[in-house]
Chains A and B, each alone.
Chain A
């Protein structure tokens, strides 16, 4: 065995491998410096393209005449020539960056410039790419540049297997259709990440609240993330009409769905909510028990004092503190009740009492 190794691993082999490594070392160093050079070249090319775009934009944005009418900017062919794909990409990125800060006629002029530069074709080529990251980028560019005619095609990708393609397609659909665009939830079989949910909610928050006709169906979806998202919509847009469906979500097998249902229920509460939440308390594990206690404030009354006093005596200090907070806020002479408890059992109720007092002061 030893001799066999000696035959294979000879000094000559090791030297040959060393030279190979050394060659690769030099190769990587060389391409590193070439890369630095290319980055620098790209930087200056980028600056030139940006300057060109900004010159064209000045034409596009400042076309208002003294009488208030607008002149459609006229560009010459040479102005509108962008050579490489890299230049086109820089131009699109710059237009999108500027587009984010404008609305109305100015935004339209930016979009017109995008069309005049024939960049839509470039974005559409990307949209039709088989690579997910290129496709997603194409969708992003098309909706940022308000290309409504692509809406139908983009919509087809709202349930795409690739997360990033479908995320962009969903964002684009809301961008084009507003609340109406939420109809993609009807058939969603793929999950919606929390990040995407936040993104969509932020996008919707900038719009006038619109129809959510299928909300009840979404709350019954077999896709748990659709249910969670629908619960958030019901919460934010105070959808009292789906109260029963939200209550039904308390029996959902997914703990996260139940967690969100508790939060939503507290926001669209009626006279029956306190009772429903209190009975749910006994079915839940610790996380949701605490969630219920922390969301009782809008619904708890003196009628719930017995329950709250029971929780105040729970072994878990977080539940104790939560219950003390609700008693102090929702029950008649709540602070006195906690103070009496603190006098009877200073440990741990004395610091809890002082903590609650401090919260009230703040």
Chain B
């Protein structure tokens, strides 16, 4: 056997072993998520959330939504947030130094006036220019903050500083929340009976492309018509219904999406809020909060609820999707680098021994391994070193496993919170899954590699996310 053959074997079998471990993780995640979702459904099958909505004893909640150049949609977005069903609620919109008319539109529409407000910078942030409240009692829940531009993390931190309530729900301002979203998000914080403090709770994000939105509310759910959003719908179903539910059951969640997450404000402040030096501020905060609790040896939990509560618009073009995935990759690298101390560190228990290594090997390293595996494959193919028989067998094996995982995800979606009730939609979702290994997945890997490249070049751009806007029901004449 030549040296080249040995290298080739190492590569082939190395990747194979890596894939096997990943495959077993996926099987475990799929199986383990069933229990968590089943328990959640059972526990909440006859829960009357109205109790919480109207109770003066319910905990107080602040929704924090940063807005930057959202002038085109801000009024509708704020209206949607103000219509949420919860008594002890404060809606904080943070205008992050927008260059357009975002602030002025809110002032005009919601009858806002600047009030004298002593801002306590518990978390250091950029300067707050002003705090606005409505003169109209109808909008008494609304607080608008105008601040110098400092990015999303900085805007969220300002919201945390200004918030007067016990729990904070951080969302993207253009997300559509279900009416009972806050009720459901807050319940895990109240449910604890052991001494484990719930420090954060995440909710499922769904894709709203092609859905009908009326008056800031989602009225009709459709599977996205365009390929990329449809593919992302499938991706989100797998990630949220399988992945995050399983990690939540293990109490090993590292990520709560920045689009919709609830946090215990006290712990957020103790951890000094969002880190504005990373583009993955959502993941970084959860990791830091967990690390804080581990280091203080305080028992805690990070929970996740499978209800589809938050709807967002997914990128429809490869350009925008590429930027998003590029940013996600850089965010993961930055977060894991900031907390490298936890890597296989038994002091951090499950967080250090399982969650972090999983993210390191199978989330952060996966695109690199795939990419270099592909390069190695090309070189070996040119040099005639590929054992084609086993290559095709391996390829088929991995592709079929991917299909199986997608089908299982679709099945779990249908038997739990089925949002796509038409047979045609489920069939399209399954067909979309068949294309994933050839179109979507290679693109996502490529975007992640660009993320690595940008990280090496120290590019810390957020990456502009142009949105198309939701489908609206045409106005009746």
Mark A residues whose CB is within 8 Å of B: 2, 5, 9-12, 14-15, 17-19, 21-22, 24-26, 28-29, 31-33, 35-36, 39, 133, 136-137, 140, 163-164, 190-195, 197-199, 201-202, 225, 232, 287, 317-318, 321, 348, 351-352, 354-355, 357-358, 362
Contact = CB atoms under 8 A, between A and B. Distances in A.
15 contacts: A14-B393, A14-B396, A18-B396, A21-B401, A26-B407, A28-B404, A32-B414, A39-B414, A133-B42, A193-B190, A193-B192, A194-B190, A195-B190, A232-B57, A358-B116
B117 A358 contact: yes
A253 to B, nearest CB: 13
A25 B407 contact: yes
B375 interface: no
A357 B46 contact: no
Interface stretch (B274-282, B344-352, B418-426): B418-426
Contacts of B393: 11-12, 14-15, 18
A32 B407 contact: yes
B389 A11 contact: yes
Contacts of A318: 120, 122
B75 interface: no
A53 B205 CA distance: 37
B461 interface: no
B118 A355 contact: yes
B390 A21 contact: no
B43 interface: yes
- Going nearest first, the 4 A-B pairs with the smallest beta carbon separation are A354-B116, A14-B393, A355-B118, A21-B400
A102 to B, nearest CB: 16
User: B-side binding surface: helix, strand, loop or mixed?
Assistant: helix
Given A11-B393, A25-B407, A287-B266, A201 B400 contact: no
A351 B403 contact: no
A195 B403 contact: no
A235 to B, nearest CB: 10
A202 to B, nearest CB: 5
B187 interface: yes
Given A164-B43, A201-B55, A193 B117 contact: no
A317 B162 CA distance: 13
Contacts of A11: 389-390, 392-393
Interface string B62-74: 0000000000000
B334 to A, nearest CB: 31
B266 A28 contact: no
B120 A18 contact: no
A358 B117 CA distance: 8
Interface residues of B, number: 54
Interface of B: 9, 13, 16, 42-43, 45-46, 51-52, 54-55, 57-59, 115-120, 122, 133, 187, 189-194, 266, 389-390, 392-394, 396-397, 399-401, 403-404, 406-408, 410-411, 414-415, 418, 421, 423, 426, 430
Contacts of A17: 397, 400
Nearest to A190: B193
A202 B187 CA distance: 15
A346 to B, nearest CB: 13
Of the candidates B51, B192, B407, B430, the one having the most CB atoms from chain A within 10 angstroms of its own CB is B407
B55 A198 contact: yes
B51 A9 contact: no
Contacts of A32: 407, 410-411, 414, 426
A178 B404 CA distance: 54
Contacts of B193: 163, 190-193, 225
A198 B46 contact: no
B168 to A, nearest CB: 16
A173 to B, nearest CB: 17
A110 B394 CA distance: 63
Contact of B397 (A14, A33, A192, A348): A14
Contacts of B117: 355, 358
A11 B390 CA distance: 5
Contacts of B55: 198, 201-202
A318 B120 CA distance: 7
A137 B406 CA distance: 33
A14 B390 contact: yes
A35 B411 CA distance: 8
Nearest to A168: B46
A25 B403 contact: yes
A140 B46 contact: yes
Given A193-B193, A352-B118, A36 B51 contact: no
A357 B118 CA distance: 11
A19 B396 CA distance: 9
B414 A35 contact: yes
A137 B403 contact: no
A63 to B, nearest CB: 29
Given A22-B403, A202-B57, A232-B57, A321 B120 contact: yes
A242 B404 CA distance: 63
Nearest to A354: B116
A240 B343 CA distance: 55
A198 B48 CA distance: 12
Of the candidates B45, B397, B421, the one having the most CB atoms from chain A within 10 angstroms of its own CB is B397
Contacts of A15: 393, 396-397
Nearest to A199: B51
B411 A31 contact: yes
Contacts of B407: 24-26, 28-29, 32
A317 B118 contact: yes
Contacts of B51: 198-199, 202
A198 B52 contact: yes
Contact of B115 (A10, A31, A140, A358): A358
Contact of A29 (B46, B401, B430): B430
A123 B392 CA distance: 57
Nearest to A351: B118
A137 B192 CA distance: 21
A21 B421 contact: no
A133 B45 contact: yes
A17 B118 CA distance: 65
Given A25-B406, A28-B410, 6 more contacts: A36-B423, A194-B189, A194-B190, A194-B191, A287-B266, A321-B120
B190 A36 contact: no
Nearest to B389: A11
A192 B58 CA distance: 15
B13 A201 contact: no
Nearest to B46: A140
B191 A195 contact: yes
A28 B400 CA distance: 13
Nearest to A11: B393
Contacts of B408: 28
Given A195-B187, A198-B52, A355-B118, A21 B423 contact: no
B457 to A, nearest CB: 39
A2 B9 contact: yes
B16 A133 contact: no
Nearest to B52: A198
Contact of B421 (A22, A28, A36, A362): A36
Of the candidates A2, A14, A19, the one having the most CB atoms from chain B within 10 angstroms of its own CB is A14
B134 to A, nearest CB: 11
A18 B191 contact: no
A280 B266 CA distance: 22
Contacts of B52: 195, 198
Contact of B57 (A2, A136, A198): A198
